[in-house]
Homo-oligomer: A and B are copies of this chain.
Amino acid sequence: MVIGAIEAGGTKFVCGLGNEDGVISERISIPTTTPEETMAEVVSFFKDKGIEALGVGSFGPVDLEQLSATYGFITSTPKPHWAQFDLVGELKKYFDVPIGFDTDVNAAALGESLWGAAAGLDSCLYMTVGTGIGVGALVEGKLIHGLTHPEMGHIMVRRHGDDTYAGRCPYHGDCLEGLAAGPAIEERWGKKGIELKESPEVWEMEAHYLAQAIANYILILSPKKVIVGGGVMKQDQLFPLVRGKVKEILGGYVQSGQILEDIDEYIVPPGLGDNAGLAGALGLVKSL
């Protein structure tokens, strides 16, 4: 089966072709400019490829309520031009195939559970720390949705004692994303994260925030694997710091060998690397 996959991000749309085993045979990257420009290129890529289904993982917030009048829309994003854009509807105009649709991070969680670091598990959390912080989760074999979809990147965390930075989330100021996403690191320290590798205080503070969030996710969702990706996590020194602080925060309370003894195998980078989102979009088609 030829499946089209779209990882619709705020910076770029990654489009690919693949199959139901998560194998990606071709991929391109299209800059996210205006819906008109970007979608024209997306349509042009998939036209004549003979796709039999399409999976879309999108930046959000998105409307995932099948019965809603705005199902398939990107809704209240602050990103210029894209608020209230009917993403699924636009694709339906050109492709008369089943379309699976979810958030980019839910798609990535699904991809990791099918073919990545959580393969064989019915539960995992996928977190990306980059220009924003997004988190998707599979629980009891299902991607989480409810009133809307989770927005776990915006939880409130306890501030680090040495941190005087105000935070930059337009909604919450110093929520997790406001304090710990890439742009917050850059604004707080006056340099990009990548130039701060030799400044341990930067990563100690970053780990303080990420570990708190992950500890809360563990206490609330009890995921069987915690997968953390995104540009900020390319700083290798972060993983051991985050793992250590998660254990410290949980204080031995969650009595699982995977946390108490094998945390190096519990909090891990994506098994699919940068393909988690695109492979996950392929996976969204499986449940149609």
> Chain A: residues with CB nearer than 8 A to chain B?
61, 75-76, 123, 135, 139-140, 142-152, 154-159, 171-172, 212, 215-224, 249-256, 258-259
C-alpha spacing A144/B219, complex, angstroms: 11
C-alpha spacing A217/B254, complex, angstroms: 18
B253 touches A154 (CB 8 A): yes
A152 touches B220 (CB 8 A): yes
Please name all residues of chain B whose beta carbon is closer than 8 Å to the beta carbon of A256 when the two chains form the complex. 147-148
**A222-B145 CB under 8 A given contacts A156-B158, A156-B249, A158-B159:** yes
A153 closest partner in B (C-beta): B219
B254 touches A224 (CB 8 A): no
A158 closest partner in B (C-beta): B158
C-alpha spacing A223/B148, complex, angstroms: 8
- Tell me which of B139, B156, B250, B252 contacts A142 (CB under 8 A): B139
A219 touches B147 (CB 8 A): no
Please name all residues of chain B whose beta carbon is closer than 8 Å to the beta carbon of A148 when the two chains form the complex. 222, 254-256
B221 touches A146 (CB 8 A): yes
Please name all residues of chain B whose beta carbon is closer than 8 Å to the beta carbon of A144 when the two chains form the complex. 139-140, 221-222
C-alpha spacing A212/B148, complex, angstroms: 19
- Tell me which of B75, B150, B218 contacts A219 (CB under 8 A): B150
Please name the 6 residue pairs, one residue from A and one from B, whose CB atoms are nearest each other, closest first. A146-B222, A123-B146, A171-B253, A140-B142, A171-B251, A155-B216
C-alpha spacing A145/B138, complex, angstroms: 11
C-alpha spacing A150/B217, complex, angstroms: 9
Please name all residues of chain B whose beta carbon is closer than 8 Å to the beta carbon of A145 when the two chains form the complex. 140, 222
A257 closest partner in B (C-beta): B147
